[in-house]
Structure 1
């Protein structure tokens, strides 16, 4: 059975909406998620923008009144400001109360502030899901060495992995230019690497970026590190092609 989580802040325009979208994206198979405000307004356009830039769905996100949701049964109520924490303690029993305190990014109205709030929320929600995983006995991703080394065993896939490791994040367009191969071929090999649990994706605007999966175990990371250290020329040519791209997409690291 999915556990039910309600995020609450004052306006339900930025912090709690972003948290709702993040948890749905990160662990929607394990949680039913909603958000509400003690004095709701409407979704902040910049909050929606940074979510979309990270490849997180915003369809259906809207501001809601706490009064309309407080009578429902919740397993966790997570407040994101002191005002919400003071009001929820009395009305959302017997849910487990968790108080987080994030500054309202709307006060600055700057893209960088919203992006930083999204990053910090993602880190905190990642810890929340990890703790819940341990409490409920859910297993983290398992990495079969046969599957991993089979993915490593293709020269093109290994080069792609090492290049992504070096550059942190790359989109398909960048990889086609760096590797000098067709888009369908790049996409096919990326799908194999993602299926093996080696890569994760996020969308920024029209581009989908690939990066090393954050749950990679230490033994896999050590293989990549040793390969990089022992074969420094492996991706030398590909890095030069990336540098030479006149129309390389600009990425925002969140």
Structure 2
């Protein structure tokens, strides 16, 4: 079983969505963890957009990357530039490190309808990335 860490700034939105899709697509093939360089709690918009996609992430927690010290990572995936540029060193000599900067829908300001669309767009982009990752690496 492979260990995958998905890393974002606050572990509230994009990393949580990726975590949910990785769990869905990889099942027993990998242990999925998500963390942030800070912890901001679950973003309600992320929870809602994942529910619209048929995934429940309400049991996820917002974790700090230091909580996972000592895990032998196979993959470390950063999903935002801020985490990629500011993450503390993670000793994982065998880990494949991947990076993709996804738009942060939690920063969107607009109507409720437009905010929902922003979350759904980010969710769909993350799902496509995860689908490609799973088919390439598993």
Paired residue total: 132
The answer to whether the 8 A contact 1:14-1:47 is kept is: yes
Distance 1:119 1:57 in 2: 15
Task: Identify which of structures 1 and 2 has the higher relative contact order when contacts are C-alpha pairs closer than 8 Å and 6+ apart.
Answer: 2
Mapped to 1, the partners of 2:84 and 2:91 lie a distance apart of: 10
Give 3-state SS (helix, strand or coil) of 1:91's partner. coil
TM normalised by structure 1 equals: 0.50
Using the alignment, how far apart are the partners of 2:127 and 2:8 within structure 1? 16
State whether residues 6 and 78 of structure 1, in contact with CA within 8 Å, keep that contact through their aligned partners in structure 2. Answer: yes
- In the aligned structure 2, how far is the partner of 1:105 from the partner of 1:92? 30
Question: How far apart are residue 71 of structure 1 and its match?
Answer: 2.8
Task: Name the Cα RMSD after superposition.
Answer: 1.5
- Which residue in 1 is equivalent to 2:121? 116
What is aligned with 1:130?
135
C-alpha distance in 1 between matches for 2:99 and 2:70: 19
Whether the aligned pair in 2 keeps the contact of 1:105 and 1:113 (CA below 8 Å) is: yes
- After TM superposition, the score normalised by the length of structure 2 is 0.89
Give the direction of change, closer, same or farther, for the CA distance of 1:85–1:69 in structure 2 (3 Å limit): same
Residue 36 of structure 1 aligns with which residue? 35
Answer whether contact 1:77 1:92 (CA < 8 A) is retained. Answer: no
Report the Cα distance in structure 1 between the residues aligned to 2:133 and 2:21, rounded to whole angstroms.
12
Structure 1's unaligned 5+ residue stretches are 134-254
1:172-251 counterparts in 2 under 5 A? none
Q: Secondary structure at the match of 2:103?
A: coil
Is the Cα contact below 8 Å between 1:81 and 1:100 reproduced in 2? yes
Counterpart of 1:71?
70
TM-superposed CA distance for 1:40, in Å, is 1.1
Match of 1:23 in 2: 22
Query: Could you say which residue in structure 1 is the equivalent of 2:79?
Result: 80
Moved over 6 A (4+): none
Q: For the Cα contact (< 8 Å) 2:19–2:33, is it kept in 1?
A: yes
CA distance in 1, matches of 2:71, 2:28: 20
The separation in 2 between residues aligned to 1:92 and 1:81, in whole angstroms, is: 20
Radius of gyration: which is bigger? 1
